[in-house]
Amino acid sequence: MTRTAILLSTVVALAACQTAPAVSPLAEPGNPALQASRTAGVAPVLATADAVDPHSYARPLEARVTNVALDLAVDFAAKRLAGTATLDIDRRPDARVIVLDRKGYEVESVTDGAGRPLAYSLGAADEELGTRFQIELGPDTRRLVIRYRSAPNASALQWLTPAQTAGKQQPFLFSQGQSIENRSWIPTQDSPGIRQTWSARISVPSPLTAVMSAPGGGEDGDIGGPKDKARTFAFSMPHPVAPYLIAIAVGDLKFQSLGPRTGVWAEPVTLPAATRELEDTEKMVMAAEQLFGPYRWGRYDMIVLPPSFPFGGMENPTLTFLTPTFIAGDKSLTSLIAHELAHSWSGNLATNATWADFWLNEGTTTYAERRIVEAIYGPEVARQQVALGIGALGKAVEENGGATGADTRLAVDLRGRHPDAGLTDIAYEKGAAFLRMIEANVGRERFDDYLRGWFARHSFQPVTSALFLADLRQHLIRGDRALEQKLQLERWVYQPGVPANSVPADPQAFAEVDRAAVAAGRGALPTAEWAQWTTDERLRFLQRLPRKQGRAALTRLDQALGLNQTGNMEVKFAWLELAVANRYDPAVPALEQFLTSQGRGKFVRPLIRTLAADTSWGRPIAARVYRRARPLYHPIVTRNLDELKL
């Protein structure tokens, strides 16, 4: 980094600090940086250049949504949510219009709170961002009522037939809002910096149950009726949240309590296994509170979704959404819960203002996840997960252009691309490595104090990279020039690659396993050891094997370790990656089963991509499997795979 660049970014960081007072700009009309009386009541950081969201049409400084009230009916036959969204808005007195985001939903009418029609217009359609939805405001308009219905192919929603669920009896619906998909079913300003309180009344066909990412749920007394009738559920989120965190699931759902403020929803056939796998959840919440400060959301419940859920987990407030593929029977994949729980602080309290700063959500969460794992499962386990993370970071740097690749920056330029282009291990693992480096330099106690303070100071607020660096300087570094010099903050955030001051993996973490991988490369397989190893050790072993292997070697490996038979989906994935890279036919039945029985993007995308790129051996397999599996996959997964033209 050049000296001017360092200077410049320091100036930017300081400027961000000055424009980020703790009070609302409306409450402080003298604030010169903000021209307070001329902006709607936004979080102060939104008035900085870093917080301008290129993935939303909204112009929050002119007029912004403060509360969303949904009243929707779920229609499985039509694959539509239909009803009204009532939006409360905060606006500059001279604002003439408010701009919302819209992707595909059909607008029937727009009125103000008194039922007077308001004129509106839709802009040109962008395949990913959708369209501008501009509504004209009267001089006193403070409320909008939008009557609408979502499109059957809404990108946030997946409608499952009974056959596509675990229980096979009832249909299922779930949403996935992050990053910019909620604009396909909620008419609002779909930008993570524009926080909104919200509520919903949802009516569903009996006997289905609706759950959402907010307190409430109990069936509305007077409406729940006899069988073929609708059941209506009500929810209300009292805290302002980023709109991508509004989520719904509807299906044959049962609840099991896990502790005083924790519990799990699942289809009845999945509930017993889910309950066993999640038995440490209440302990995790307590450990997280010790580390990061009070849990601010009331309950921490989870829902285990049908196998097509496209992610491992999604941190929807009060109700984490989970893939069933984390259920291994031995709790060995529950770092996923630590991760989604940690988002209750990093991401859901302090939220990236734009997707360019996604690392603030995911990197901080990945760091926090391993601190929770350490508290619950001990330092040995955490040390191994840190080492796996460092391995993944090396791979991510390679895949993103190496040490000079622009996309290896933490603050990444996503203009002109879908925000999910930033969904890489750079955000997760370089972000986590950044925080571990700071921890190593200031000591754990001081860093923990700082982190608690960071969450407390920015609870229910959008944050940017610049704001984080300014906050570090104000509350942690406090003018210590030697420390400032050591940390290299700007280099970590704004420059590519992994700086030299990162903390290396502990070579002891996997010493035995790494030796075994080398020996296995020479033909000596660790048959006895494998049985004793943890899931993390097995994963490390499979990742460390030579990438090119002949058929005979793979057969011996499979037979010695029972890889085609493993029920652990992470281990199976690691094995199938190796098998596919080596055109190993005997793994094809297991591969087909794997790809047609779950739709987690992290698993299915790379396998299908690798197959498709192998024109003679893999592509026919990919075509055959994809045709069968596609109905199971969520729109955000098929969006990428359809491009392969299988």
Known catalytic residues? Answer: 340, 428
Structure tokens at 248: 């719904």
The Cα angle at residue 116 between residues 112 and 122, in degrees rounded to 5: 65
Q: What x-and-dash track marks residues 158-187 binding ligand BES by CB under 6 A?
A: --------------------xx--------
Strand-by-strand arrangement of the 157-160 sheet: 157-160, 172-175, 248-251, 209-212
Choose one: 126-134, 365-373, 567-575, 626-634; the region binding Zn ion (CB under 5 A): 365-373
Closest approach, Cβ 264 to ligand BES, in A, equals 17
Residue 420 partner contact from ligand BES, Zn ion, none using kind-dependent CB cut-offs of 5 to 8 Å: ligand BES
Kindly tell me which residue out of 76, 133, 235, 311 binds ligand BES, with binding defined by CB under 6 A: 311
| Residue 362 or 374 having the CB closest to Zn ion | 362
CA Rg value for the chain: 25
* Binding site partner of 313, from ligand BES, Zn ion, none, Cβ cut-off 5-8 A by kind: ligand BES
How far is CA 239 from each of CA 177, 186, 195, 236, 493, rounded to the nearest angstrom? Answer: 18, 18, 9, 9, 30
Name the segment binding ligand BES (CB under 6 A); options: 157-165, 182-190, 308-316, 557-565: 308-316
Stretch that binds ligand BES, among 109-117, 300-308, 310-318, 388-396 (CB under 6 A): 310-318
Select the span of 252-260, 333-341, 550-558, 580-588 touching ligand BES (CB under 6 A): 333-341
Task: Please tell me whether residue 587 binds ligand BES under the rule CB under 6 A.
Answer: no
Q: Which does 582 bind (CB under 5 to 8 A by kind): Zn ion, ligand BES, none?
A: none
How many residues bind Zn ion (CB under 5 A)? The answer is 2
**How many whole angstroms separate alpha carbon 197 and alpha carbon 185?**
17
Q: Which does 464 bind (CB under 5 to 8 A by kind): Zn ion, ligand BES, none?
A: none
Specify the 3-state DSSP secondary structure of 203: strand
Site for ligand BES in 409-448 (CB under 6 A): 420, 423
- The reply on whether position 252 binds ligand BES by CB under 6 A is no
- Applying CB under 6 A, does 321 fall inside the site for ligand BES? no
| Residue 55 in the binding site for ligand BES (CB under 6 A) | no
Where do we find the tokens 């591969």? 591
- For position 284 contacting ligand BES by CB under 6 A, the verdict is no
d(CA 426, CA 409): 7
Distance in angstroms (rounded) separating the CA atoms of residues 139 and 95 = 8
Q: Does 301 interact with ligand BES (rule: CB under 6 A)?
A: no
Nearest to 70 by CA among 240, 186, 244, 213: 186
List strands edge to edge, sheet with 131-136.
97-102, 131-136, 120-122
* Cβ-based burial of 487 (10 A; exposed 0-12, middle 13-18, buried ≥19): buried
Distance CA 372, CA 378 (A): 9
**Whole-number minimum distance, CB 428 to Zn ion, in Å?**
7
174 vs 367, beta carbon nearer Zn ion: 367
Q: Is 490 in the site for ligand BES (CB under 6 A)?
A: no
* Closer of 181 and 439 to ligand BES (Cβ): 181
Strand ranges (E), 260-373: 262-266, 300-304, 313-314, 319-322, 350-352
Candidates 278-286, 360-368, 548-556, 566-574; binding stretch for Zn ion (CB under 5 A): 360-368
AA identity, residue 558: D
Span from 2-10, 60-68, 214-222, 334-342 in contact with ligand BES (CB under 6 A):
334-342
602, 619, 624, 630: residue in contact with ligand BES (rule CB under 6 A): 602
Backbone phi and psi for residue 409, each to the nearest 5 degrees, phi listed first: -75, 150
Find the shortest distance in angstroms from Cβ 296 to ligand BES: 18
Q: Which stretch binds Zn ion (CB under 5 A): 22-30, 112-120, 356-364, 501-509?
A: 356-364
**Residue 312: CB minimum distance to ligand BES, A:** 3
Q: Which is nearer to ligand BES, 42 or 247 (CB)?
A: 247
Contacts of 127 (CB under 8 A, 6+ apart): none
CA-based angle 199:294:471, to the nearest 5? Answer: 95
Q: How far is the CB of 339 from Zn ion (least distance, A)?
A: 6
Phi, psi at residue 521, to the nearest 5°?
A: -60, -25
| Contact call for residues 188 and 230 (beta carbons, < 8 A) | no
How would you class 607 by CB atoms within 10 Å of its CB: exposed for 0-12, middle for 13-18, buried for 19 or more?
A: buried
Q: Is 340 in the site for ligand BES (CB under 6 A)?
A: yes
| 599 binds ligand BES, rule: CB under 6 A | no
> H helices of 170-227, where?
none
User: What stretches of 170-299 adopt beta strand conformation (E)?
Assistant: 172-175, 196-205, 209-212, 216-219, 230-241, 248-251, 254-259, 262-266
CB 511 within 8 A of CB 540: no
Nearer to Zn ion (CB atom), residue 172 or residue 345: 345
What distance in Å separates the CA atoms of residue 439 and residue 147, rounded to the nearest whole number? 51
The residue at minimum Cβ distance from ligand BES is 312
Residues in contact with ligand BES, counted by CB under 6 A, come to a total of 15
Choose one: 214-222, 302-310, 364-372, 389-397; the region binding Zn ion (CB under 5 A).
364-372
- 277 touching ligand BES, by CB under 6 A: no
Q: Which of residues 352-371 bind ligand BES (CB under 6 A)?
A: 362
Counting DSSP H helices and E strands in the chain, the numbers are: 21, 21
Name the minimum Å distance from CB 334 to ligand BES.
10
What DSSP element (H or E) covers 134?
strand 131-136
Packing angle, helices 465-472 and 3-18, rounded to 10: 90
Task: Give the nearest distance from C-beta 238 to ligand BES in angstroms.
Answer: 22
DSSP 544-586: HS-S---HHHHHHHHHHHTGGG---HHHHHHHHHHHHHTT-GG
- Please report whether residue 53 would count as binding ligand BES according to CB under 6 A: no
| Residue 190 within binding range of ligand BES, rule CB under 6 A | no
- Nearer Cβ to ligand BES (323/549): 323
Which of Zn ion, ligand BES, none does residue 179 bind (CB under 5 to 8 Å by kind)? ligand BES
Binding to ligand BES by residue 536, rule CB under 6 A?
no
Q: Report what 423 binds from ligand BES, Zn ion, none; CB cut-off 5-8 Å by kind.
A: ligand BES
Joined together, the tokens standing for residue 425 give 């291990």
Convert residues 120-159 into a mask of x (bound to ligand BES by CB under 6 A) and - (unbound): ----------------------------------------
Task: Please give the structure tokens belonging to residue 152.
Answer: 């059957």
Q: Give the one entry of Zn ion, ligand BES, none that residue 312 binds, where binding means its C-beta sits below a cut-off of 5 to 8 angstroms depending on kind.
A: ligand BES
- One-letter amino acid identity for 62? E
Q: Token pair for residue 626?
A: 């994809």
Shortest distance, CB of residue 422 to ligand BES, whole angstroms? 8
State the residues that interact with ligand BES by CB under 6 A: 178-179, 311-315, 336, 339-340, 343, 362, 420, 423, 602
State the residues that interact with Zn ion by CB under 5 A: 362, 365
